[in-house]
A and B are shown apart, each in its own frame.
Chain A
Amino acid sequence: MDNKTLLEVKDLAIYFNLREGVLKAIDGISFNVDRNSTVGIVGESGSGKSVTAQAIMRILPETAEIKTGEINYYKDSDNPIKIHELPDKSPILCDIRGKDISMIFQEPMSAFSPLHTIGHQMIECLRLHTPMTKQEARERAIEMLAKVGISNPEKRVDQYSFELSGGMRQRAMIAIALSTNPSIVIADEPTTSLDVTIQAQILKLMKDMQEEFNMSIIFITHNLGVIAQMADMIQVMYLGKIMEAGTAEEIFYEPRHPYTINLLKAIPKIGSNANGRLEAIPGQIPGPFDIPKGCKFCTRCPSAIKGLCDVRTPELKMFSETHSVSCWKCLEQEK
């Protein structure tokens, strides 16, 4: 393993054992997160992007099970911490959570306890992972709140989450996540519940913080515009599979997978005919219990090859050192 890889997800499959049957939320995905870089995961709802995040943090719901695969965290040496193997109550795992890998949630309102002050939750996290005294942790909390642009942090630290505005809450969330100086921050749709101006501020804040703290970000979103601003590497997910992966340039300027191409077409463009219809990917996402055989996108793919796409799963084909696509059509064209 080269030195720049920080987190390696290899052939990961997460199944949910539900009363209705087995739900394959993630079905064999692999990607790497390099040091000090941003990996974006894009996909529609139900594509398994949040489950990926939960799996890395090991905060999956009780019904979920890591079926196969590895999550290796290269903390400092060549000996990775095998996150997928750690038992639920392992102290190593509890120490990784919040210290090495921390998470920013989509809804800051419900991600804060309504009964504890912002400061209380920050201080708790700091004291769990560092030898700080209560006073030191409090000072650090105030410092972090100031750093993420919250005015009057000495007062805010003793307030409850419901006393803050939406943007402020998300800033506080980021402050908590960064307070322990983690090496990876997983941001699960961090700007989805915010309005556009606040969204831009938060994205800028995250970029600034990444520079200051030297961390990697796994950025999960369904918003292609956001991912274009944030990510170095992009993984396009559909129904628990990675369809296409590459650098931001490769995904946006040379998309190869029909899913990515159609996804990019569906972005409304300024200046296009105001009365025209928005482009949409035809059909609907198949239900979680009748996932198609072969390529998962074959039911909606305009260029699906009958007898091939709906029978056999295409292999991942590398088109450059960074650009990989899982599509029969692309494989055929190469021949």
Chain B
Amino acid sequence: MIKYILTKLAIMLVTIFFVSIVVFIIIELPPGDFADNFAAEKASAGETLSQSDVENLKERYGLNQSVYERYFKWIWGIVSRGDFGTSFRYNRPVMMVIGERITFTTCLALLTILFTYLIAIPIGIYSAMRQYTFGDYAFTFVGYLGLSIPSFLLALLLLYFSTKYTNTSIGGLFSPEFQNAPWSLARFVDMLKHIWVAAVVLAVAGTAKIIRTLRATLLDEKSKLYVTAAKARGVSGKTLLLKYPVRVAMNPIASTLGWELSAVISGSPIVAVVLSIPDMGPLYLTSLLSQDMYLAGTLLIFMSLMTIIGTFLSDILLAIMDPRIRLGIKI
């Protein structure tokens, strides 16, 4: 088990290293750099920057150095001091710009996953056990509805009904009195009160897939011989269902945790904009537009990291759940 985890951990680190290279190449790809972009922006506002001003900017931000030099400096800063570079646009360290937003995004993502599983797993089990009944069809219908309605529309609808009927706005992240208050338990609770709407909206979109996967796997598993054999030994009812086929049917759910996490993160920006939640989404967009490369790079790396960590967690979860994987048996 320890060997298995260490192997996975090593693979994870190597993946992160390659991701950082790819990320850097991608943010280098568009022509020009932040200084050119800045000059163009000023020009469109009617101001002109002299050539020497632009050169000065390039000098200051180190944009004249070669790509390799900049990459290794950036990586070295991250590895040695946890310094992700400076955001050109905000003129502050990247970590300070995104610090709080990363917390919101992570909270939102985890909460969404939690909701998705809480909704989808019981329904999936129900659908498989009551195949072709009214309940099965009804849940399937609702699940597909959730899949096909765009998340931002659902967010808008929720926003509309909540202001109309409860007269409280569920948009934003904090109630006015907590807006600028320092972090406290009360503020955290207040945040949860607001963030759950976004989490539910995002979760609804993901449930259909999990319901269908679980239903199909469980239908397969429940007629397998080991279930019949357990029944023949006198095991019955819920124990027979939950202990045997459901546990096997959870495997595909556990193994896609990583993808779920990245799907939530890439799906959240629009919902976050609609519900005015200051998470990473909007920041990411502007950083790409203005070629604020260290900021964009850090955000990209962070998103990839979520996927990689999600996959790592999946692997460990699978190993805990399935001895065949833990013991490295080829099936």
Binding site for B on A (CB under 8 A): 57, 59, 61, 89, 94-99, 102-103, 105, 107, 110-117, 121, 124-125, 128-129, 160, 162-163, 176
Contact = CB atoms under 8 A, between A and B. Distances in A.
Interface in B230-280: 230-237, 243-244, 247-248
A125 B248 contact: no
Contact of A115 (B229, B231, B235, B323): B323
A112 B235 contact: no
A102 B247 CA distance: 24
Given A103-B232, A128-B234, A110 B225 contact: yes
Question: Shortest 3 CB-CB distances between A and B: which pairs?
Answer: A98-B234, A98-B233, A111-B229
Given A98-B233, A103-B229, A115 B321 contact: yes
Nearest to A61: B223
B29 interface: no
Candidate in A61, A99, A110 with the most chain B CB atoms within 10 angstroms: A110
B234 A105 contact: no
Given A115-B247, A115-B321, A163-B327, A57 B232 contact: yes
B125 to A, nearest CB: 17
Given A160-B323, A160-B327, A162-B324, A114 B233 contact: no
Contacts of A115: 244, 247-248, 321-323
B327 A97 contact: no
B329 interface: yes
B223 A110 contact: no
A59 B233 contact: no
Nearest to A107: B225
Contact of A105 (B229, B235, B237): B229
B224 interface: yes
Central interface residue in A97, A114, A125, by most chain B CB within 10 Å: A114
Contacts of A59: 228, 231-232
A111 B225 contact: yes
Nearest to A117: B323
Given A107-B225, A114-B324, A160-B327, A121 B234 contact: no
Contacts of A160: 323-324, 327
A88 to B, nearest CB: 9
B230 A121 contact: yes
Nearest to A96: B234
A95 B234 contact: yes
Contact of B232 (A102, A107, A114): A102
Interface of B: 223-226, 228-237, 243-244, 247-248, 321-324, 327, 329
Given A59-B228, A113-B244, A114-B226, A125 B324 contact: no
Contacts of A124: 233, 235
A99 B232 CA distance: 9
Nearest to B233: A98
A176 B228 CA distance: 14
A97 B232 CA distance: 5
Given A61-B223, A111-B226, A114-B323, A98 B232 contact: yes
A97 B231 contact: yes
20 contacts: A59-B231, A94-B234, A95-B234, A97-B231, A97-B233, A99-B234, A102-B233, A105-B229, A110-B224, A111-B225, A111-B229, A114-B226, A115-B322, A115-B323, A116-B243, A124-B233, A125-B234, A160-B323, A160-B327, A162-B324
Contact of B229 (A95, A99, A112): A112
B4 to A, nearest CB: 16
Contacts of B323: 114-115, 117, 160
A102 B327 CA distance: 31
Given A97-B234, A114-B226, A121-B233, 4 more contacts: A89-B237, A105-B229, A114-B322, A116-B243
Nearest to B244: A113
Contacts of A129: 234
Contacts of B237: 89
Contacts of A111: 225-226, 228-229
Nearest to B322: A115
A97 B236 CA distance: 10
B229 to A, nearest CB: 4
Nearest to A103: B232
A57 B235 CA distance: 13
A28 B247 CA distance: 39
Contact of A89 (B232, B236, B327): B236
Contacts of B228: 59, 111
Given A115-B248, A115-B323, A163-B327, A125 B225 contact: no
Contacts of A128: 233-235
A251 B14 CA distance: 71
Contacts of B329: 162-163
B44 to A, nearest CB: 63
A26 B229 CA distance: 22
Contacts of B236: 89, 94
